[in-house]
């Protein structure tokens, strides 16, 4: 018997699990259809014997990498997984579009890379979750450490309007913080969004999560993969986790003792958090698709971020000060020139900074173009 997620002769085998009954032909239509010549697509099978046959056929051929999705047609067929309880996850999920079809892997290179390589232009809403990644990454060349206990996932969504793309990372970050706050044990955690794509805890002042949005374009549609990582239960690495913060609130442990504790209870599980995330994200995404980043969404976002009226230095303007005043209609960070105390004048110029071209050094309060980042 082959494990449900393996990498043998560069064949990556993972289960595709559906909340509802998913026919093998529908699965192939949704996730295994080639839209252009030589497009990498997964092989989708419905029986372990087919997996064994594929492995035997490619034995000794180490040059070919393939993704194989082993379809689990009904929720009742899925036994309680030792690392991710899919039944628990699906029972909490109340969406129509997002998260109802799930790929789960114990160890994978990167959920983001696998989705971008093999699952481009596939149906909206598919999510891939890994217990551990060997090549997790953030924006640009940044690495995302992925020890056991992290929530690590990537999921698919669609957009036809390229002007809306910068906002998707804001929606995902907002949905994750709101999902965490929806747990009674975490409702008063001081979590904040750092522009453009990070989640911070203001109490120890440490990053606890991040969002990565990447897209491809075909047939007048942007095919977007949104990656989300949250330090949830990884007690020792790489920083403070959500469950540690809850423990601190509950018992008043110092941040230093939290950093080394290995006995933190699981107040929030990955299964519960992912389902609550999608339950938050889906109506938010529907509202955004219909009305854009309207006043309601913008207010919800800025209520959670750490930058309102924040005074920072702008490296490209000789380290002159600017005051952050919001998000522009284009999804850029909007700031106005000011003095060190935040005072503006009639001559103060407003600047807009693109999220993909700007880095925010939050410790030193410096905005800079990515090409200007110190090495």
Q: Are residues 66 and 104 in the same domain?
A: no
So what's the pLDDT on residue 62?
57
* CATH number, position 191: 3.30.930.10
Pairing of strands 191-194, 150-159: unpaired
CA distances from 73 to 44, 47, 101, 153, 374 (A): 12, 10, 10, 21, 51
Q: Are residues 268 and 131 in the same domain?
A: yes
Q: What pLDDT score was predicted for residue 178?
A: 98
d(CA 209, CA 288): 23
* 101 and 70, same domain (yes or no): no
The reply to whether 98 and 57 lie within a common domain is no
Residue 165: which residues within 8 A CB-CB, separation 6 or more?
A: 159, 213, 215, 222, 224, 331
DSSP 236: S
CA 366 to chain centre: 25
Which of 303, 318, 344 marks a domain boundary? 303
What is the pLDDT, as a whole number, of residue 238? 57
| Same-domain status, 34 and 133 | no
Q: How many distinct structural domains can be found in the chain?
A: 3
Q: Same domain, yes or no, for 86 and 1?
A: no
| Per-residue confidence (pLDDT) for residue 208, from 0 to 100 | 93
| Domain stop point among 303, 333, 361 | 303
Other residues' Cβ atoms within 10 Å of the Cβ of residue 362 = 17
Q: Which ranges constitute the DSSP H helices of 110-241? A: 111-118, 165-181
**What pLDDT, on the 0 to 100 scale, is given for residue 8?**
47
Q: Which residues are CB-neighbours of 331 under 8 A, at least 6 positions away?
A: 163, 164, 165, 166, 167, 170, 293, 355
What pLDDT was estimated at residue 236? Answer: 58
Q: Does one domain contain both 317 and 270?
A: no
Its sign, for the CA torsion 121, 127, 130, 134, is positive
221 and 231 assigned to the same domain: yes
In this predicted structure, what is the pLDDT of residue 295?
A: 95
Is there a single domain that holds both residue 178 and residue 263? yes
Question: Within a 13 Å sphere around the CA of 107, how many CA atoms are in the beta-carbon half?
Answer: 7
Residues 266 and 342 in one domain: no
In the prediction, which pLDDT does 141 show?
47
**Residues 88, 224: one domain?**
yes
| Amino acid 265: pLDDT | 87
| Residues lower than pLDDT 70 in the chain | 1-9, 59-63, 73-82, 135-146, 235-238, 253-263, 370-375
Task: Quote the pLDDT of residue 369.
Answer: 77
Domain that holds residue 63: 1-78
Segment holding 200, helix H or strand E: strand 198-201
**pTM for the complete prediction?**
0.90
pLDDT at 4: 42
pLDDT number for residue 11: 87
- Would you tell me how many other CB atoms lie within 10 Å of the CB of residue 156? 23
User: What pLDDT score does 375 carry?
Assistant: 40
Encoding tokens for residue 147? 């020890």
Q: What pLDDT shows up at residue 373?
A: 46
Which of 21, 49, 78 represents a domain boundary (last residue)? 78
Task: Mark whether 54 and 43 lie in a shared domain.
Answer: yes
Q: What is the pLDDT of residue 361?
A: 86
């Amino acid at each position: 018997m082959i494990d449900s997620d393996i990498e043998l002769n560069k064949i990556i085998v993972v289960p595709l699990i559906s909340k509802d009954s998913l026919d093998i032909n529908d699965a192939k239509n949704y996730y295994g259809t080639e839209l252009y010549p030589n497009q990498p697509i997964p092989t989708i099978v419905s029986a372990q014997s087919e997996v064994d046959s594929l492995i035997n056929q490619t034995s000794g051929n180490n040059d070919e990498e393939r993704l194989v999705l082993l379809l689990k047609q009904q929720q009742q067929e899925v036994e309680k997984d030792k690392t991710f309880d899919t039944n628990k996850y699906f029972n909490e999920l109340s969406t129509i579009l997002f998260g109802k079809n799930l790929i789960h892997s114990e160890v994978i290179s990167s959920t983001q890379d696998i989705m971008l390589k093999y699952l481009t232009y596939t149906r909206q809403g598919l999510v891939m979750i890994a217990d551990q990644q060997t090549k997790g990454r953030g924006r640009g060349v940044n690495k995302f450490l992925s020890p056991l206990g992290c929530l690590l996932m990537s999921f698919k969504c669609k957009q036809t309007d390229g002007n809306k793309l910068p906002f998707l990372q804001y929606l995902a970050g907002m949905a994750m913080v709101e999902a965490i706050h929806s747990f009674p044990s975490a409702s008063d955690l001081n979590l904040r969004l750092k522009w453009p794509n990070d989640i911070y805890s203001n109490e120890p002042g440490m990053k606890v999560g991040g969002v990565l949005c990447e897209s491809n374009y075909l047939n007048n549609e942007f095919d977007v993969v949104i990656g989300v990582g949250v330090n949830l239960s990884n007690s020792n690495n790489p920083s403070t986790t959500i469950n540690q913060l809850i423990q601190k609130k509950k018992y008043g442990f110092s941040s230093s003792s939290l950093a080394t504790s290995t006995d933190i209870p699981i107040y929030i599980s990955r299964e519960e958090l992912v389902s609550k995330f999608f339950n938050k994200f889906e109506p938010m995404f529907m509202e955004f698709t219909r009305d854009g980043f309207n006043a309601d969404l913008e207010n919800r976002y800025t209520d959670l971020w750490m930058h309102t009226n924040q005074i920072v230095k702008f490296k490209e303007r000789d380290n002159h000060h600017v005051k952050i005043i919001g998000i522009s209609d284009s999804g850029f960070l909007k700031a106005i020139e000011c003095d060190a105390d935040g005072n503006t004048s009639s001559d103060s110029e407003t600047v807009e900074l693109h999220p993909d071209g700007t880095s925010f050094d939050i410790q030193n309060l410096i905005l800079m173009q990515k090409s200007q980042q110190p090495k």
